[in-house]
Amino acid sequence: MKHHFGPNHAKAQKMKHSLEQQVLVHLKRSGASVYDALSVRFDPNHTAEVQPLLRRLKEYGYIDVSGEKMVTITTFGLQHIESDES
């Protein structure tokens, strides 16, 4: 079964990657942040796009979420954004 992804899919993927990068760069520059504050900052219109993105970043090992819902960037996350910047 072939999947045909058109320009809309490519644009959506590019936007997701851009948002991932913005979140990681924010954590790198600002340090730890409360999970809900990241949702408000990066999804002010409550489109529900940031919650799955944060879960995905955690699954990839790019961020760590403490029991108190504090989010920090991991060494792997730092390496990921540095590789994208070069």
> pLDDT tens string for the chain (86 positions)?
555 566 665 666 677 778 899 999 999 999 999 999 998 999 888 877 888 999 999 999 999 999 899 999 999 999 999 887 66
Residue type present at position 50: V
Which tokens in the block code for residue 78?
């730092």
Task: State residue 43's pLDDT score.
Answer: 87
Query: Which two three-digit tokens encode residue 14?
Result: 């590019």
pTM: 0.81
Cβ atoms within 10 A of the Cβ of 23, count? 24
Q: Which residue intervals of the chain are DSSP H helices? A: 7-30, 35-42, 50-60, 75-85
Tell me the angle at which helices 7-30 and 35-42 cross, rounded to the nearest 10 degrees: 130
CATH top-level class for 7-85? mainly alpha
